[in-house]
């Protein structure tokens, strides 16, 4: 029988660390696939194919980020009710969230698939990689229901304090993904389209298996006929938390699209360097993202239990772990970035390798800002203030737009390298006072409930 876990008592640092570790391993698995995917495409299909995959990275983040944000948001009331030990309402939230996810995923799939070509044209995608980028993006959009349900089910399980079970399903998905990637590209010869087909199929299979396992092994999630009834009031609450959380990711991605559009205009070589650098960066930042995800569950459970002081304790513990990790990452990156780039790029492409290393060096130097952003934003979201957290995404968007319109035209690819660090700075300038406000509000709410 799978076990849920409360994080409302005990020392915060070991609780958060133990919860974060499976998330980190899971994110590393995802990034391992991403690296293998890019390496296979870059090495066997060439620089143009690698650029075709990378040309739509920001658009994929825009759409899938919204879906994944909604999934994380739908799990927040589940974590809060679990922390409050209101298991009946918790199960009803789970049931309603699955129904909402079904409708939303189909609607998003239809709209994005129809707009696929228009999006790539608007992003100034180079003509020589347009067809490959279109195939990759269209298949990714068609597979949105698979992505939506896989992430929702994983988020629900994590909301119960179990971060290990989603890891095992992610391991299955990653291994299957890599196998299908090799089969579709090298054996079937499907090119760039094969990479996206492999991802969609593997996530779809994992989502089905995750659902079966969750219902059989998590006794606390077994619903009655009454629990499964659609409840508009719960749907409204889920949407009020999930949609702003999804929009926060999408708003952030709008700035990323602007930045990538500016980079696309610099030519195929810059697109290839950006693609390789983003793959490398994503591997190293996934620990910070995992720590943030852990804080969302930790914050949500302790909010439900009426223990705001534990949320602050958790943040301090998370910051300590964050800084130790960032020091280690900087040591690795400053010594090995150009060598890591050789995973994706032929050694003869010296200029692309140089630009890739430059991008990664600049970004990891600003990781303390990204770490603080992740910890504070996810903690605010876990407490249910997703609308407030959404404005940090607005701050990021504004920063990336300014860099795209002003800095990139002046400094070229060097300006692109500073797009994300500038966004992280703008977000932190908003999130620090925002968390202070939320923390005071939580204390007032708890004091009022006790009186």
Do 41 and 300 touch, CB atoms closer than 8 A?
no
- At 307 the three-state DSSP class reads coil
Both tokens assigned to 63: 């759409």
**pLDDT band of 1, cuts 50, 70, 90:** very low
| Structural domain spans, the chain | 12-450
Query: Model-level pTM?
Result: 0.73
CA proximity to 291, closest of 17, 7, 5: 17
Provide the terminal-to-terminal Cα distance of the chain, rounded to the nearest Å.
40
Name residues whose C-beta falls within 8 Å of residue 238's C-beta, 6 or more positions apart in sequence: 73, 74, 77, 93, 96, 97, 100
Q: Give the model's pLDDT for residue 49.
A: 67
Length of the chain: 451
**CA–CA distances in Å: residue 313 to residues 16, 23, 369, 383:** 11, 20, 20, 14
| Angle in degrees, CA 200, 203, 207, rounded to 5 | 135
**CA–CA distances in Å: residue 55 to residues 116, 131, 146, 319:** 13, 11, 23, 34
Residue range 339-380, pLDDT digits in tens: 888 777 777 888 888 888 999 999 999 999 999 999 999 899
Average pLDDT score over residue span 384-399: 85
Q: How many CA atoms lie within 13 A of 415 on its CB side?
A: 21
CB count within 10 Å of CB 187 equals 9
Does position 3 have pLDDT exceeding 70, yes or no?
no
SS (H, E, C) 349-378: CHHHHHHHHHHHHHHHHCHHHHHHHHHHHH
């Amino acid at each position: 029988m799978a076990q849920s876990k409360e994080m409302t008592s005990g020392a915060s640092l070991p609780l958060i660390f133990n919860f974060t570790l499976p998330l980190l391993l899971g994110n590393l698995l995802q990034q391992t696939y991403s690296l293998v995917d890019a390496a296979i495409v870059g090495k066997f299909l060439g620089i143009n194919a690698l650029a075709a995959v990378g040309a739509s990275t920001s658009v994929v983040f825009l759409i899938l980020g919204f879906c994944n944000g909604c999934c994380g948001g739908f799990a927040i009331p589940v974590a809060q009710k679990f922390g409050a030990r209101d298991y009946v309402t918790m199960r009803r939230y789970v049931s309603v969230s699955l129904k909402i996810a079904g409708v939303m995923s189909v609607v998003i799939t239809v709209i994005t698939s129809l707009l696929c070509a228009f999006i790539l044209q608007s992003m100034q995608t180079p003509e020589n990689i347009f067809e490959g980028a279109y195939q990759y993006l269209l298949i990714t959009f068609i597979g949105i229901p698979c992505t939506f349900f896989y992430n929702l089910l994983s988020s629900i399980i994590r909301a119960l304090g179990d971060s290990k079970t989603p890891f095992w399903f992610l391991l299955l998905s990653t291994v299957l993904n890599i196998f299908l990637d090799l089969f579709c590209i090298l054996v079937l010869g499907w090119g760039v389209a094969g990479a996206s087909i492999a991802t969609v199929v593997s996530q779809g299979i994992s989502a089905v298996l995750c659902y079966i396992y969750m219902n059989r092994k998590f006794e606390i999630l077994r619903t009655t006929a009454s629990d499964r009834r659609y409840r508009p009031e719960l749907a409204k609450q889920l949407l009020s938390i999930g949609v702003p959380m999804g929009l926060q990711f999408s708003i952030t991605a709008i700035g990323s699209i602007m930045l990538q559009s500016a980079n696309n205009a610099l030519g195929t070589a810059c697109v290839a360097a950006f693609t390789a650098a983003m793959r490398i960066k994503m591997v190293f930042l996934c620990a910070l993202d995992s720590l943030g995800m852990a804080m969302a569950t930790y914050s949500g459970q302790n909010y439900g239990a009426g223990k705001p002081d534990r949320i602050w304790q958790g943040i301090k513990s998370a910051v300590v772990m964050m800084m130790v990790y960032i020091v280690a990452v900087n040591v690795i990156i400053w010594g090995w970035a150009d060598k890591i780039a050789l995973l994706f790029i032929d050694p003869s492409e010296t200029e692309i390798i140089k630009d890739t290393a430059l991008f990664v060096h600049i970004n990891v130097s600003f990781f303390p800002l990204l770490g603080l952003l992740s910890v504070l934003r996810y903690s605010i979201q876990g407490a249910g203030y997703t609308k407030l957290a959404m404005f940090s995404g607005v701050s990021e968007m504004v920063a990336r737009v300014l860099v795209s319109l002003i800095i990139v035209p002046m400094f070229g690819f060097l300006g692109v390298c500073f797009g994300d660090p500038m966004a992280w700075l703008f977000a932190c300038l908003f999130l620090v006072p925002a968390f202070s406000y939320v923390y005071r509000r939580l204390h007032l709410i708890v004091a009022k409930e006790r009186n």
